[in-house]
Structure 1
Amino acid sequence: MNLAKYTQEKPKVSSVVFSRDSHTIASVSSESAIIIWDLRQILTLEPLISGCNWVRDYLQTNLEMEESDRINICPLAHR
């Protein structure tokens, strides 16, 4: 499952296609990057836990944040 793709510039989504069974989505960016999404898996995510997991590296490595802020902003990212 791919929730995000980091690039220096923000490409725009130029096309989105759903599979016939509605379980898969394919998106194409302006840079011609293709991402396949598993919709069933995305829809079963816990938003807070998923969000914390998504920003875990940033929270752990950002030198401008106090240690207490790293833990208090998203305690689930420190499991």
Structure 2
Amino acid sequence: MSLELHTANVWSVDFSADSKFLVSAGDDQRVIVWNLQRLAKINYFEYGCNWIHDYLKTNPLLTKSDRQVCDIGK
């Protein structure tokens, strides 16, 4: 299963109450339900940081400490 199924910006993500699923929705008019147990082999912190890398570098509203949030694991 790939986490790269959206074809446009993702604007909303939320976990299920039991934390077994993640739901994402975006500009591509798609709502995707991710089965996190099937994706358990993924390093979520690393994946998330790779996903928001450009955002952290380019968003003018972020503080210096905000930009370094992914440096914790390095």
TM-score by length of structure 1 reads: 0.45
* Structure showing greater relative contact order (alpha-carbon pairs closer than 8 Å, 6 or more residues apart): 1
**Structure with greater proportional helix content:** 1
TM-score by length of 2: 0.47
